[in-house]
Amino acid sequence: MGAWSVLLMTSLMLAGCSVLGKRTANEPPYKVISQEGEIEIRQYGELIVAETVVEGSYGQTSGAAFSRLAGYIFGKNRAKQKIAMTAPVLQEQASEKISMTAPVIQEKKGNAWVMSFVMPEGSTLEALPTPLDPAVKLRIVPGKKVGVIRYSGLHSENNLRNYAQTLTLWLEKKGVMILSGPRAASYDPPWTIPFLRRNEVHIDIE
């Protein structure tokens, strides 16, 4: 199956086959602790993600990373099992910690991006099938508190940077300790009308 076929099929799953491409996929549960306009403080429980690291810029790595992860949930695993698509798709710049656990980019000094698919609620590492692609890893993400800013339009690196700056300034003004760099969270398929898209920037906080 080619990369474009995987992208199209996964986009159909994410969209729920809506004409406008509006998302109907499940998303991980969370509790809203506080809200101010488009900014929220959320509490997420423990999650399991399938993730992959690709060296390069945000735009250059998105397609390859998405294709790898889509291949896994479409059956490129030892059990040849299909896994339900959830939202959002997460993308963040590779940290030193992640680079150290991925030898292929260990010497790239952070010039890479990590993309993650959240596994369906109730998944366990023991029950999930093992990826056939060694570049796809399963990982438990502990429960955490997250600062979130929501926006519509394109999920570009420029938007990630600009909205991350807005969110960071808001968190600092509130005296909240920031624990991570920003992540892009995309909820809708590529053909969704831009002003209908749900995009977010997430930053872990104390």
Instruction: For residue 166, give the CATH number of its domain.
Output: 3.20.80.10
Give whole-number Cα distances, 114 to 91, 93, 118, 122, 173, in Å. 6, 6, 13, 23, 29
Domain that includes residue 180, residue range: 3-205
- Our count of domains for the chain comes to 1
Q: Are 182 and 199 in contact (CB under 8 A)?
A: no
Q: Rounded to two decimals, what is the model's pTM?
A: 0.82
The mean pLDDT values, 10 residues at a time, for the chain of 206 residues are: 45 45 74 97 96 88 90 94 91 62 33 90 95 96 97 90 97 96 87 86 96
Q: Note the pLDDT of residue 110.
A: 58
Q: Note the pLDDT of residue 59.
A: 81
3-class secondary structure for 91-103? EEECCHHHHHCCH
